[in-house]
Structures are given as structure tokens and as C-alpha cells.
Amino acid sequence: RKEVEQDPGPFNVPEGATVAFNCTYSNSASQSFFWYRQDCRKEPKLLMSVYSSGNEDGRFTAQLNRASQYISLLIRDSKLSDSATYLCVVHVLTGGGNKLTFGTGTQLKVEL
């Protein structure tokens, strides 16, 4: 089983649509969870952290279900500028340090 699994997409949606991405992770010792955004050939940029209580940042809502090892991201009223690859990322504390484990990403294309 992959450490972090995402549907690669692409999700093609019209402007203004609501779109949801899901992610599952296999390491139950995972500590923190994030959604990153990556534009073509650019670096990953932190979109938001994900908490069990759910958190919202403008049009973006993230949710974590630790029991099911499941993470979600909801984008409301999608804009053309939301077109990107959304990376589900899990943070693991290891014996000596820490690392991020990335999913393969879900590609979103918002169209007129």
C-alpha cells in the first residue's frame, strides 16, 4: 500500500464549481498533515495544515479523520487561478528527525 495515496485526476471543473479531493495514508504514526499546492515545474507551496477538528481558510476547507487515516480538501467557488496540482502531505517524526511524505498529487483544471 502506498504511504500516501491520491487520485491523480485530472479534475476538470467549470469556474465557480465546488470540488473535493481525498487522500489516504498508511502510517498510523503520522503526526501532522498538510495540503500543498504545486504549479507546473515550481516548488510545492503550503496551502494549509489539516486538523481533526477541520479547518477553513477562505474558500478552502480541510478535514482529517485519524481513525480512517483519511484527509480531504474542499475548494468552493473555484477560480481559474486554482488550477494546479494539490499534494496531500504527511509529516512523520522519525527516530532521528522528521520528514514529509508526499502523495503523487491531484491535478485540478478550472475552466471558463
Partner 1 sequence: EPEVTQTPSHQVTQMGQEVILRCVPISNHLYFYWYRQILGQKVEFLVSFYNNEISEKSEIFDDQFSVERPDGSNFTLKIRSTKLEDSAMYFCASSRDSNYGYTFGSGTRLTVV
Question: Of 18-26, 35-43, 58-66, 73-81, which segment contacts partner 1 by CB under 8 A?
Answer: 35-43
Interface with partner 1 includes 68 (CB under 8 A)? Answer: no
| C-beta closer to partner 1: residue 19 or 50 | 50
Q: Which of 22, 49, 55, 72 binds partner 1 (CB under 8 A)?
A: 49
- Let me know if 8 is exposed, middle or buried by CB neighbors in 10 A (0-12, 13-18, 19+): exposed
Rounded to 5°, angle at Cα 1 from 69 and 40: 80
Helix (H) or strand (E) holding 23: strand 19-25
Interface with partner 1 includes 104 (CB under 8 A)? Answer: yes
Question: Of 12-20, 56-64, 71-79, 99-107, which segment contacts partner 1 by CB under 8 A?
Answer: 99-107
Report the SS3 class of residue 100: strand
Residues in contact with partner 1 by CB under 8 A are: 31-32, 34, 38, 41-46, 49, 87, 91, 93-105
